[in-house]
Amino acid sequence: MTPSAIPISSHSGSPVRSTTSQEIERLLVIAAVFLSPMTYLRTDIVFFTLSDLVASAAFVVMIANRRVPLRPFADMTSFWLFSVLLLCSGLIAGSLLNGDPLTGAVGVIQYVFSFVCIPLLLLGRPARETMFLCKVMAFSLVFVMLHGVLYSVFSPDDARFFSRNGRLTGLIERENGVGLLAGVGIVYVMWLYFISQISGIVFLALVAPVAYGLLLSASNSGFIVAVVGIFGISFFHGSAKHILAFIGIGALALAALLLFGQYFLPEVFQERVYGALTTGDSSEAGTFDGRLLLIQEAIYLIDRSIWLGVGVDQHRLISQYGAPVHNTYLLLLSEGGLVSLLGFVCLLLTLAFVGWRSFCNPETRWSGVLMFTILLMFAVALNGVTHVYGRFLSVPLLLPAAICLSGYRFRRHQKREHR
């Protein structure tokens, strides 16, 4: 039991019953993490997935067990909750005064579920249990990508998992989401290899389907985020040998991609990404030019909503293109005003501070490495996505914070590294 959790009452039942309910809680949390990227398993009425259902059940069991952490972010909990309050206040104020109150309420509930309930579920757990959840997250992303790869071989025309132009949407239901989570999956697997939790053979077996899933997504933003993550984890590692090795491997891979990519890359990747890489023409980079127009329009529209936003899901209604701007920072500024954007930035700063404290301690440094790398990837990726309340985004973002705050120590790996 962690110090920040509500203790189990001595009158709440027998030790056997308490142990059983705790095991049920752990299994539910594990299932919720594993299912979190699979948004295909959801209702059509509101954005509520099977993972959300399992997470809700786990939360109920936690309340029954009196194991809800009161301070999931330790001494940064108040700052985190205040940041969520700012984020939601701007959105609900804009929705009440300028937009649709019902839509605003739904959007705020989604953000509260992702950034209040999910942290209560994942953070404040024992170190070994938290490490296991990080492994579950990594294997879940491998499973999702492997599912997409198998469908690309045996059923490439399945409209459930592929878009009209042949891009993989998979169980995540969005092409760029596949690209982003493929990059995140590669970093999680690399991290597990670096800390000696998996062998080199297992690393290659796990990273292969994830990398191919990235290619099948044909996502320019996903490709960029994956490169940022790979070089980011090498940089934060701090070893000149690893940094030089990855620079060399990256240069060879890029050369092979540019010179021989047409012989082995998936056709959809060649059409949307490879052409832009070889020619330098942004018009060949999928919808890049269209997104740039949305960004330019958003900057113009924000002049009228910088203090009081237009409300949740209202930006697309005032846009002449009929679409929300694919930039989280600008979308929050448009729909929630400066207050919402400030709250969201403070959430990211909280995660950065949590990662910094772990990074500064030699025994927990690898936790900080994962936090910084994933946070950097998301900071870049947010320039190409809309709202980020989906649990397929919040769970892989919050798990590095969980391992940082758990105090997991990497002694065995440290000894091996200094030999």
Q: Is residue 192 within 8 Å of residue 198, measured between CB atoms?
A: yes
Tokens representing 311 are: 């409300």
Q: Is residue 117 within 8 Å of residue 55, measured between CB atoms?
A: yes
Q: Is residue 66 within 8 Å of residue 9, measured between CB atoms?
A: yes
- Helix ranges restricted to H, 71-174: 77-97, 101-112, 118-122, 127-154
Amino acid at position 247, single letter: I
Contacts with 85 (C-beta within 8 Å, 6 or more apart), sequence order: 343
Contacts with 312 (C-beta within 8 Å, 6 or more apart), sequence order: 91, 94, 95, 99, 100, 103, 104, 106, 107, 108, 335, 336
Q: If DSSP codes are grouped into helix, strand and coil, which group holds residue 8?
A: coil
Query: In whole angstroms, what separates CA 70 from the centre of its chain?
Result: 24
pTM of the model: 0.90
| Alpha-carbon gap, residue 258 to 56, rounded angstroms | 47
Tokens representing 89 are: 């206040």
Tokens representing 67 are: 């194991």
Q: Tens place of pLDDT for every residue, the chain, 419 residues? A: 444 444 433 334 455 556 888 899 999 999 999 999 999 999 988 899 999 999 999 999 999 888 899 899 999 999 999 999 999 999 999 999 998 999 999 999 999 999 999 999 999 999 999 999 999 999 999 999 999 999 999 999 999 999 988 999 999 999 999 999 999 999 999 999 989 999 999 999 999 999 999 999 988 889 899 989 988 898 887 666 767 777 777 778 777 777 776 767 788 887 777 666 665 555 555 566 678 888 888 888 887 778 889 999 999 888 888 888 999 999 999 999 999 999 999 999 999 999 999 999 999 999 999 999 999 999 999 998 899 999 999 999 999 999 999 989 886 444 444 33
Radius of gyration of the chain (CA): 22
Contacts with 415 (C-beta within 8 Å, 6 or more apart), sequence order: none
